[in-house]
Amino acid sequence: MPVRYGYPETPAETTTRLRPVRPRQRWRTVAAAVCVVLGLGLIGGAATGAWLTGDSSAETTRNPYTAARSAWHSVPVDTLFPRTLQGRGAGPGGTHRTWTRIAVAADSTCKDGLDPLLLTTLRSVGCERLVRATYTDATRSSVTTVGLVFTEADAPGMQALRTRFTEQGLGARKDLMPRTYAPEGTTAASFGDGQRASWTVNPLTEIPVVVLAVSGFADGRTVADPQPAPAAMVAGATTDVAQAGLGHEAKGIADRVERGLRRAVADLTEQPR
């Protein structure tokens, strides 16, 4: 199933019209039998060749970095960004959350979807593609854009980026906040740069992906002092961002999209039986 981005949310089709099957003619049955015999011979030869030479293409596919790098177009949209995300225990104080997807952005280059400084920071790993979606909570009081940056880096490159983020505290820098995706006619229509309240940027090391998310108030209010998700999630924090649980929103959605991506990559790399 090809991946489609930038489409409006519509209910999935649940039924398929059945079509009549014509009776099989005798000559077709004979021809089919001949084809089966020939086909089995070809399959047997191919299997023998694969057994003798080894299936190098399969080995490549089973490499997590290779599989993950193409996941943006080989994995269905509803797998990368499920229509509904369940956040059991993801809210402040371990409360439960449910998030609904309200829009999926067209896949783009990082230049089109990231602020210049964040783009510069990620330059060392390269950018294959950026995909994003925006969610709202059950009360429609908050909105969160979550994104996946598929990079061109190998494992050492991703580890170096991760180390840099950790040692230099890049994830807490306000000038490295992700951009929002705020399509018109949705709950997120007023979710612009000035409405960004909390965020997370997480370079992974097992696969060549950077997971990012940014949250804000759905009513479009301006946020004067945005906070990184870890700071907004500290118990007892009294800022408006923390009290509204916007750090939990950004982190909770990012974590669940990341888990879904990891499962999808694991399926792509699973050894055939």
Each residue of 116-172: pLDDT tens digit?
A: 999 999 999 999 999 999 999 999 999 999 999 999 999 999 999 999 999 999 999
- Residue 136 backbone phi and psi in degrees, to 5: -130, 155
- Residue 163 backbone phi and psi in degrees, to 5: -60, -40
Do 164 and 35 fall within a single domain?
no
| pLDDT value of residue 20 | 30
In a domain, 4, yes or no: no
As a whole number, mean pLDDT of residues 9-33 equals 38
Provide the residue range defining the domain that includes 189: 64-269
Do 164 and 42 fall within a single domain?
no
Q: Which of 124, 134, 144, 143 is closest to 210 using CA atoms? A: 124
Q: Which of 271, 248, 268 is closest to 260 using CA atoms? A: 268
In a domain, 20, yes or no: no
166 Cβ neighbours under 8 A, 6+ residues apart: none
Structural domain total, the chain = 2
* pLDDT at residue 243 tops 80: yes
Secondary structure of 168-204 in HEC code, one letter for each residue: HCHHHCHHHCCCCCCCCCCCCCCCCHHHCCEEEEEEC
Do 104 and 31 fall within a single domain?
no
Predicted confidence (pLDDT) per residue in 83-121, tens digit: 999 999 999 999 999 999 999 999 999 998 999 999 999
* pLDDT at residue 269 tops 80: yes
Do 96 and 33 fall within a single domain?
no
Predicted confidence (pLDDT) per residue in 175-232, tens digit: 999 999 999 999 999 999 999 999 999 999 999 999 999 999 999 999 999 999 999 9
Q: What is the mean pLDDT of the chain?
A: 84
Do 127 and 253 fall within a single domain?
yes
